[in-house]
Structure 1
Amino acid sequence: MLKTIKQDLWSHLLLILLAFVALYPFFYMIITSFKTNGQFYSNFFGITFPLHFENYATAWEAIGGYIFNSVFIGVASVIIIIATSALAGYSFARLRYKGKNFLYMSVVALLMIPGLLTLIPLFLLIKSFGLLDSYLGLIIAFAAGGQAFTIFVFRQSFASLPEELFEAARIDGCGELRVFWQIVLPLSKPIIGTMAIWNLLAIWNEYMMPLVLMSNPDKFPITVGLIQFESQFVSQTLYGPMFAGYTIASLPLLILFLFTMRLFMKGLTSGAVKI
């Protein structure tokens, strides 16, 4: 009994230490965001008073537009990814036609190609469409980049649904689109939500693609915009507003995950995603 208690104690202490290491940088970012330069240099690691909330107003004025750009680009890209990948996944899982396996294996093979290798061809392709430095060009690029993995996951998920449901629907006279809309989508809400969150996180954190495809600072997403923001405040050595900007930039994803964590975990444990 005593041995078990000691083992549990050390396990809990280790978990507490790991949690501290993981959470302290975020805590440090928040407390620094309320400091003036004098408070920053006088008390580097601790909380100082008074708290300077005006740092957030200054930061929001500088990066608010970047956040709106990221939200617009991310939501539009995710809608395209989910809509097209769900249809493709249903096709690979439930329809029968010549060349289906070859097409599916070609999609899966794309997962083995690092994204950086496609950056220059993608740039040339977007340029040939005349869509450089535009929201549409970046949305198309993100939507194309998220297809392969999402199609793979949807195909696995749709293939695991009971065949009897589809046979009963077809006997009742349902066409394929009606089966997809009324049977497949309602039963696949957890995995659809999971893939939507997964792709939104990837798009929100992407840096190289918007850096290459965009040149107008007014259209930058938050990842590229933060570099502009950081250079502005580092040159003035204003650490409070700079860390306030970092905090604001991290809040949308934090809020999204807090409100969708149950759906995300349900999708991961539904058997469709095996990592």
Structure 2
Amino acid sequence: MRLAEFKHDLPFHIVIVILVFISIYPFIFMLISSFKTTEEVFHNFFGLPSSLEYRNYLDAWKEVSPFLLNTIIVSVITMFGVLVLSSIDAYIFTRFDFPGKDILFFLILSLLMIPGILTLVPRFLVVRDLKLLNTYWALILPYIAGGQVMPIFILRSFFSSIPKELFESAKIDGASETQCFLKITIPLSKSILFTVGLMNFLNIWNEYVWPLVTVTEPKLFPITVGLVVFQSRYAGSAAWGPLFAGYTIASIPIVILFLFTMKYYIAGITSGALKA
């Protein structure tokens, strides 16, 4: 029976293995190339390096580390800002009834249908008039404001699945609405909060267009813009080893973050976080 099931599922498993290999091969190739000399990159493109060129990472770190720090600062502050505000908003939409609640929620969801590029100029004008250009806040505040729509939708769906009897029991024991939120809703929603936080963190980490138009001082560049500057310096000198090392350094924090939070990310999805 098991042999028959294995033969039946074998084509599916082969396809999965091929897709996984296609997904991770660019990272493996980048990692291998980061230890090569410039000559090996050109003459042994797909092969392994004859020796590990650690100096590539030293050269890349000097250039990339400030950009990496900027991105971590912006991403972490934005992630916590989005989690705090969107969880409060979702809780209000779940637990309270007020006139126009459904209309307001629909208007918030309708923002998902507006491409971000259409609001680029209005956002830039607002940030400029607030004199926030070339500051961290030029990145953080718009990210927090624009990053709440999907989290509100996801968290509201999850909060609605929490039994109302828990809140009624807490109310009988004298708990306030704030205590219900902090001591019931948040502890029961750790998995979904990790999922939403990770999704938001990845989106901010990979953002390129907005920092390109709002930040012109190199000391404030995030990693996406900084890598372009880094590439323009090293690609011209054909120093591809440090260039690949810089790309690898920029990827490592995301890989580490996903490895440590993967359990919570999967738990959030399987618990119905994305059921809607």
TM-score by shorter chain over 0.5: yes
> Which of the five TM-score ranges fits, normalised by the shorter chain?
over 0.9
Tell me how far apart the structure 2 counterparts of residues 6 and 90 of structure 1 sit (CA, whole Å): 49
Partner residue of 1:45?
46
Letter in 1 for 2:154: V
Tell me how far apart the structure 1 counterparts of residues 193 and 87 of structure 2 sit (CA, whole Å): 8
TM-score by length of 1: 0.96
Q: How does 1:43-82 map to 2 (within 5 A)?
A: 43-82=44-83
Tell me how far apart the structure 2 counterparts of residues 117 and 10 of structure 1 sit (CA, whole Å): 44
| Bigger mean CA offset, 99-108 vs 194-203 | 99-108
Aligned-pair distance for 1:25?
1.4
Tell me how far apart the structure 1 counterparts of residues 6 and 82 of structure 2 sit (CA, whole Å): 50
Partner residue of 2:229?
228
Aligned-pair distance for 1:37?
1.3
1:8–1:162 distance in 2 versus 1, CA, 3 Å:
closer
Partner residue of 1:213?
214
1:209–1:3 distance in 2 versus 1, CA, 3 Å:
same
Q: How does 1:185-264 map to 2 (within 5 A)?
A: 185-264=186-265
| Count of equivalent residues | 275
2:80 is the counterpart of 1:111: no
Task: Give the gaps of 5 or more residues in structure 1.
Answer: none
Tell me how far apart the structure 2 counterparts of residues 117 and 172 of structure 1 sit (CA, whole Å): 50
Aligned-pair distance for 1:50?
1.3
Map Cα deviations across residues 239-270 of structure 1 (whole Å, 9 max, x no partner).
Answer: 00000001110100000000000000000111
Tell me how far apart the structure 2 counterparts of residues 207 and 73 of structure 1 sit (CA, whole Å): 13
Task: Give the gaps of 5 or more residues in structure 2.
Answer: none
Partner residue of 1:85?
86
2:169 is the counterpart of 1:174: no
Tell me how far apart the structure 2 counterparts of residues 220 and 161 of structure 1 sit (CA, whole Å): 42
Letter in 1 for 2:236: S
Aligned-pair distance for 1:272?
2.6
Tell me how far apart the structure 1 counterparts of residues 9 and 85 of structure 2 sit (CA, whole Å): 49
Aligned-pair distance for 1:18?
2.4
Aligned-pair distance for 1:6?
4.8
The sequence identity of aligned pairs, in percent, is 45
Map Cα deviations across residues 131-177 of structure 1 (whole Å, 9 max, x no partner).
Answer: 11110121001101111111111111111110101111111221111
Tell me how far apart the structure 2 counterparts of residues 138 and 5 of structure 1 sit (CA, whole Å): 51
Structure 1 runs (4+) deviating above 6 angstroms are none
2:37 is the counterpart of 1:31: no
Map Cα deviations across residues 178-217 of structure 1 (whole Å, 9 max, x no partner).
Answer: 1111111111111111101010000000111111111111
Letter in 2 for 1:186: P
3-state secondary structure, aligned to 1:131: coil
Tell me how far apart the structure 2 counterparts of residues 9 and 266 of structure 1 sit (CA, whole Å): 27
Aligned-pair distance for 1:5?
5.4
Map Cα deviations across residues 47-80 of structure 1 (whole Å, 9 max, x no partner).
Answer: 0211101100100101000000000000001111
> CA RMSD of the aligned region, Å?
1.5
Tell me how far apart the structure 2 counterparts of residues 58 and 183 of structure 1 sit (CA, whole Å): 49
